[in-house]
Structure 1
C-alpha cells in the first residue's frame, strides 16, 4: 500500500523485523530480515513495528518510508520513523 502525490512520487511505508541469524561453525551470528510489511500510512507502519517487536523471536523492528519516482522507477533512501531493539546501523542486511 502506498500514497501517491501530485509530484509523480509514491510513498511506501514499511515495517521490517529482524531475527537472529545463526552463526556458522566458529563464526559470529548476525541479523536477518524476518518480515517486510507495507502500509498506507507512517502511523500504521510504526504501530506494526512496535507490535512485531513484542513477538517472541523478533530481536528488532523498524519502520521507514521510501519515496518512489513514478517516472523513472527509482526509489530513494529510507527515512526511518522508529527503530526498536537490535537493528542494523546502516540497514544493509
Structure 2
C-alpha cells in the first residue's frame, strides 16, 4: 500500500460517519500550553501566530508517539517502513 493510499484511508476513517465529532475515533487527546512573553504590550498586540505550510505541498501530517520503554513499540519502525512513512526518533541513554 502506498503512503498516499494509506493517508487517504486514514483521513477517511477520521471523517467517516461522524463528521461533526471532533474526535470520531476517540483517540487520546492532550493539551499543551505555550506561554509567550513580549517586551511590551504593543508587541503583544501586534503578534501573530501563523502556521507554516507542510513541506512538498503535503495535505496531511500525522503526529504520533510511543513509549520508548515499551518493547512492543519497537515494531513501530517496521510498520512505518511498510507504508513508506518517515519519522524522527529520539533515543535516550
Return the structure number with greater helix share. Answer: 2
Greater radius of gyration (CA) = 2
TM-score grouping bracket, smaller chain normalisation: under 0.3
Q: TM-score, normalised by structure 1?
A: 0.25
Return the structure number with greater strand share. Answer: 1
